[in-house]
A and B are shown apart, each in its own frame.
Chain A
Amino acid sequence: MTSSILLPLLGGALIGLSASLLLLANGRVAGISGVVGSLLAPVRGDVAWRVLFFAGLLSGGLLLAWVRPGSFPAPSTPSAGGLWLLVGAGLLVGFGSRLGNGCTSGHGVCGISRGSVRSISATLTFMATGVLTVFLVRHVL
Chain B
Amino acid sequence: MRTSLSAFLSGIIFALGLGLAGMTDPANVLGFLDIAGDWDYRLAFVMGGAIAVHAALRPLIHRRAQPLFATKFPAFPASKPDAKLLVGSALFGVGWGLGGYCPGPALTSLATGAFPLLVFVPAMFAGFYLAQVVQARSCVGAPRPGTPRVGATPAQ
A binding-site residues for B, Cβ under 8 Å:
4-5, 7-38, 40-44, 46, 48-65, 68, 71-73, 75-78, 82-83, 85-110, 112-114, 116-118, 121-123, 125-135, 137-139
Contacts and interface: CB of A to CB of B under 8 A. Distances in A.
A16 B53 contact: yes
Contacts of B101: 89-90, 93
B114 interface: yes
Given A91-B95, A94-B127, A57 B15 contact: yes
A2 B74 CA distance: 37
The B interface is mostly helix, strand or loop, or mixed, namely: helix
Provide the main secondary structure of the chain A interface.
helix
B42 A8 contact: yes
A131 B131 contact: no
B80 A93 contact: no
Nearest to B61: A24
B34 A33 contact: no
A59 B30 contact: no
Interface in B46-102: 46-55, 57-58, 61, 64, 66-74, 76, 79-81, 84-99, 101-102
Contacts of A106: 156
B97 A53 contact: no
B57 to A, nearest CB: 4
A96 B61 contact: no
Contact of A100 (B14, B26, B61, B92): B92
Nearest to A56: B11
Contacts of B79: 118
Contacts of A4: 42
B93 A14 contact: no
- Top 5 A-B pairs ranked by shortest CB distance? A56-B11, A94-B127, A60-B15, A11-B21, A12-B49
Chain B interface size band reads 35 or more
A121 to B, nearest CB: 4
A17 B11 CA distance: 11
Contacts of B84: 99-101
B94 A96 contact: yes
Contacts of B150: 43-44
A64 B88 contact: no
Given A9-B49, A23-B58, A88-B95, A31 B76 contact: no
A60 B12 contact: yes
A123 B102 CA distance: 13
B49 A60 contact: no
Nearest to A140: B36
Given A40-B145, A61-B15, A63-B12, A100 B119 contact: no
